[in-house]
Amino acid sequence: GQNIDQPTEMTATEGAIVQINCTYQTSGFNGLFWYQQHAGEAPTFLSYNVLDGLEEKGRFSSFLSRSKGYSYLLLKELQMKDSASYLCAGGGFQKLVFGTGTRLLVSP
């Protein structure tokens, strides 16, 4: 089966760093994605990890540990526009399974 868990909501202040965790149990795992979704909008791709380790892309970084079934998304120098839901997704070919999303609220 496939199960992805992430916190429902997090809050942080502008300029801070926040880490959003995701744990998963998947069969046929083939990589882990992070998507950002602003309210009422389409999810947009942030990152994809298939190997263990940290992938850095500007203010956003994503980490994967396959042996632990664990990933996190790290957001640095938070901006107000980063207020959104962050979706962790993984699985095998042809069927990506999403977590429920973590709603991040960034305050001034």
Chain positions contacting another protein, by CB under 8 A: 30-31, 33, 35, 41-45, 48, 50, 87, 89, 91-101
Cβ-contact 55, 61 below 8 angstroms: yes
Q: How far is the CB of 96 from another protein (least distance, A)?
A: 4
What Rg, from alpha-carbon coordinates, does the chain have? 13
CB of 31 or CB of 76, closer to another protein: 31
In order, the DSSP letters of 20-76 are: EEEEEE-SS---EEEEEE-TTS--EEEEEE-SSEEEEETTEEEEEETTTTEEEEEE-
CB of 69 or CB of 91, closer to another protein: 91
Q: How far is the CB of 72 from another protein (least distance, A)?
A: 17
Q: How far is the CB of 53 from another protein (least distance, A)?
A: 17
Counting every residue, how long is the chain? 108
Q: Find how far residue 75's CA is from the centre of its chain.
A: 10
Q: How far is the CB of 45 from another protein (least distance, A)?
A: 5
CB of 31 or CB of 70, closer to another protein: 31
